[in-house]
Amino acid sequence: MTEQQPQTRLDPRYSDPAATATAWATAEARLTAAEQFWISTVRPDGRPHVTPLPAVWSQGALHFCTGPEERKALNLAGNPHVVLTTGTSTWDKGYDLVVEGAAERVGDEGRLRELAAAWEAKYGRFWHFDVREGAFHHGGGSAFVFAVAPRTVFGFGKGEPFSQTRWRFA
User: What are residue 130's DSSP bridge partners?
Assistant: 137
Residue 59 scores a pLDDT above 60: yes
- Model confidence at 1, in pLDDT bands (50, 70, 90)? low
- Domain over 7-108+143-168 is classified CATH 2.30.110.10: yes
- What pLDDT is attached to residue 51? 98
- Model confidence at 4, in pLDDT bands (50, 70, 90)? confident
Cα separations (Å) of 125 from 54, 112, 158? 14, 17, 34
Q: What share of the chain in percent tops pLDDT 70?
A: 98
Residue 3 scores a pLDDT above 90: no
- Model confidence at 71, in pLDDT bands (50, 70, 90)? very high
First vs last C-alpha separation in the chain: 13
Average pLDDT over residues 130-138: 97
Average pLDDT over residues 149-165: 97
- Model confidence at 140, in pLDDT bands (50, 70, 90)? confident
- Mean pLDDT rounded to a whole number for the chain: 96
Run of H or E residues at 147: strand 141-157
Residue 126 scores a pLDDT above 70: yes
CB 143 within 8 A of CB 67: yes
Q: What is the CA radius of gyration of the chain?
A: 17
How many Å apart are CA 79 and CA 67, to the nearest integer? 17
- What pLDDT is attached to residue 2? 47
- What pLDDT is attached to residue 152? 98
Residue 30 scores a pLDDT above 60: yes
